[in-house]
Amino acid sequence: IFAVSSTSCIRSKMLSTYDLIMMFLSLSRFFLQSWIMLELSLGLFCQDCYYKANLMGTFKTVFVFLNYSSFWFAAWLSVFYCIKVASFTESFFVWLKQRISSLMPWMLITSSLFCLAASLPFSWDIYNMHNNFSTPLIKTSSSKWKVTVPYSFFSLIFVCNAGILLPFMIFAVSSVLLIRSLWKHTRQMQNNATGFRDPSLEAHIGAIRSIFSFLLLYLINFIALSLMLSGIFLPFSTEEAICMAIMAACPAAHSMVLIWSNPKFRKLPARI
């Protein structure tokens, strides 16, 4: 996705709003996947190094920042789709459609700074939680873990909600509005159909399916990240491993759907 978007910008000698969003989104997910693999490798094979407070706090902070960024950039992509494709006649929607290209860069930069500010408290929480243990976390009993968790949970619940609940609401609202608009337009096309296969109608139905799959993947990823940040699972437990696998798989699946649903991205893999 990043290769196609950057190549498109170079050829056209201008940075379109859509390519800008896709570059932000693809880079955040590339670094997120890489960071997950690096953190899991160090946590499994270099535990003495990984569980030092400074290193563990740094890894968790960057992990949260990349997750928050991925959520926000996906939300802005949904907003961009909704504004450009949906056919609403409200004055605010018309005003936003005219100015979305100039507003989107500032929205991306502002959300990046917000993600950075929301992720920094996790480094302090990890440090305090680490000092409450006299033994490495992986060897800590479940009873001692349960005593420590409430402090972590209640001290970070507001930051978690601010970092992932707000973009989830933006993503959900824009996706529902877009699906509603496309479905209404599809019904009108079906009523006017002549009985022959209509490529435009099939494209609308395919778009509805893609957006619905985006919403489903976003919801699953949102639940997994919320459970991870709540601190209710033991380190390297089966539940934590499942959440980590979901958080790695959902962004990748969302990116694959983006490639599949957009002819612009399908051309490059076809040439390769």
Indicate whether 142 belongs to any domain. Answer: no
DSSP state of 29: H
Indicate whether 63 belongs to any domain. Answer: yes
Indicate whether 208 belongs to any domain. Answer: yes
Query: Do the Cβ atoms of 74 and 25 come closer than 8 Å?
Result: yes
- pLDDT tens digit sequence for 151-189: 455 455 555 566 778 888 888 898 888 888 888 877 777
Please give the residue range of the domain that contains residue 185: 1-126+149-265
Indicate whether 198 belongs to any domain. Answer: yes
Q: Does pTM top 0.85 for this prediction?
A: no
Indicate whether 133 belongs to any domain. Answer: no
Which region, left, alpha or beta, applies to residue 194 given φ > 0 means left and ψ of -120 to 50 means alpha? alpha
pLDDT of 249 reads: 85
Indicate whether 141 belongs to any domain. Answer: no
Residues of the chain with pLDDT under 50: 127, 129-151, 154
Helices (H), the chain: 2-12, 17-45, 47-50, 53-85, 91-119, 121-131, 142-160, 166-191, 199-230, 238-261, 263-271
Indicate whether 229 belongs to any domain. Answer: yes
**CATH number of the domain that residue 172 is part of:** 1.20.1070
User: How many domains in the chain?
Assistant: 1
Nearest to 17, CA basis, from 98, 112, 113: 98
Indicate whether 140 belongs to any domain. Answer: no
pLDDT of 112 reads: 92
pLDDT of 1 reads: 86
